[in-house]
Copies of this chain bind each other. A is one copy, B any other.
Amino acid sequence: MATIDDVAKAAGVSTSTVSYVLSGKRPISAPTRSRVEKAIKDLGYRPHAGARALASNRTNVLALVAPLRAAVNVNVIMLFVSGIAQAAQHHNYDVLLVTQDDATGLDRVLNGSMVDAVITMDVEEHDPRIPVLRNAKQPAVLIGLPRDTAGLSCVDLDFASVGSSAVRHLAELGHTKIGLLGSGSAAWERRTSFLERLLQGARTEANYQSVELAAIPCEASEVGAAEAVDSILAQQPGLTALIVHNESALPHAIARLRELGKSIPGDISVLAVCPPDVAANQPLPLTSIDIPGEAIGRAAVDMAMNRLDNDLPAETRLLAPVLTQRESTGPVR
């Protein structure tokens, strides 16, 4: 492997000149620059990442802490990851995947100076990783909202606003008995913050609009979805609208409604909270509030990068939801 000294020699300049050509941190005359660039190309030179990190305290690597096991939803995870990967690439950053549940992986990566910043997904309420993140010299961005955000930057969809928009949309169509199918009971028991925010937003708006709202969990399986549909229909007789925040259960819930002879949106309006492509690609395109996975991923990277260059205080960014009307919601009969 060619080193920077080889390049300098080949170009007839000093190593520092080569370094500055590469970094652009000081002006270089056109002829010098092109000689250096030619030498770089000729030798197929690539800077050694470790040496660079040692000398500059910058790795150009971003840690991504991702839950590979108890993922809320693989699809959504992939959207986040994809948004993060793209944005990182755009900033000339690589992504180091950290999947260990405990903090040891994070600790090594952070304190071993392997990365310049961290993005953490699916943080739990009393996550052992939070203190490690807080003490790190690198900026950290969480996707989601932990209980105590002090000193940590967070980005997430504004789920309270998701809840209220959903209820408002249906109330404006004249619906007065609305059901909500949420994520699996595991998420309810963990008291996941997005769920609480969604419910709070929906309930507040339901009160304001004077409509009835019933919310229950819903497992991701075919059977679970059918049970949830049956159960909410029993619990809320005369229900005419359903909000479903559960991508995996969505098709099964709809199938169950059909089985029960309910037409959509004739008998029951359905509003999905899910990634836009999922809603649009159902047999009946669904009115939906997007879960903008890629956008959140991008925002997380941008926040991290910002904090690297400047050093801003921590900030929480909640993305406003977007409701797209398609064919599954309509006026109550």
Binding site for B on A (CB under 8 A): 1, 44, 46-54, 59, 61, 64, 68-69, 71, 74-75, 77-78, 81-82, 85-86, 89, 94-100, 105, 107-109, 111-114, 137, 221-223, 251, 255, 281-283
* Cβ–Cβ < 8 Å partners of A98 in chain B: 94
Measured in the bound complex, the distance between the Cα atoms of B283 and A221 in whole Å is 9
Known A-B contacts A54-B54, A81-B68, A85-B68; A47 and B112 likewise in contact (beta carbons under 8 Å):
yes
Measured in the bound complex, the distance between the Cα atoms of B93 and A108 in whole Å is 11
Shortest CB–CB separation between residue A137 and chain B, in angstroms?
8
Shortest CB–CB separation between residue A321 and chain B, in angstroms?
23
Measured in the bound complex, the distance between the Cα atoms of B46 and A54 in whole Å is 14
Measured in the bound complex, the distance between the Cα atoms of B113 and A47 in whole Å is 8
A46-B112, A49-B113, A51-B54 known; 14 new pairs, CB 8 Å cut-off, are: A1-B111, A1-B113, A1-B137, A46-B111, A49-B59, A49-B114, A61-B96, A61-B114, A64-B97, A68-B81, A86-B99, A94-B109, A95-B97, A96-B96
Measured in the bound complex, the distance between the Cα atoms of B51 and A166 in whole Å is 53
Interchain CB contact under 8 A, B44 and A54:
no
Q: Quick one: copies of this chain in the complex?
A: 2
Shortest CB–CB separation between residue A294 and chain B, in angstroms?
10
Q: Which interface residue of A48, A50, A52, A69 has the most chain B CB atoms within 10 A?
A: A50
Interchain CB contact under 8 A, A50 and B59:
yes
Measured in the bound complex, the distance between the Cα atoms of B53 and A129 in whole Å is 26
* Cβ–Cβ < 8 Å partners of A283 in chain B: 222-223
27 A-B pairs with C-beta separation under 8 A: A1-B137, A44-B111, A46-B107, A46-B111, A46-B112, A48-B54, A48-B112, A49-B112, A50-B51, A50-B52, A50-B54, A50-B113, A54-B54, A61-B114, A64-B97, A68-B78, A74-B75, A74-B78, A77-B78, A85-B97, A86-B99, A89-B105, A94-B96, A94-B97, A94-B98, A96-B96, A222-B282
* Cβ–Cβ < 8 Å partners of A48 in chain B: 54, 112-113
Shortest CB–CB separation between residue A170 and chain B, in angstroms?
25
Q: Can you list the 10 inter-chain pairs with the closest CB atoms, starting with the nearest?
A: A50-B53, A46-B111, A50-B54, A85-B99, A50-B50, A68-B82, A49-B114, A95-B97, A49-B112, A46-B112
Q: Pick from B44, B108, B223: contact of A46, CB below 8 A.
A: B108
Chain B residue, CB-CB nearest to A63: B94
Measured in the bound complex, the distance between the Cα atoms of B59 and A238 in whole Å is 63
* Cβ–Cβ < 8 Å partners of A86 in chain B: 99
Shortest CB–CB separation between residue A140 and chain B, in angstroms?
17
Shortest CB–CB separation between residue A83 and chain B, in angstroms?
10
Chain B residue, CB-CB nearest to A98: B94
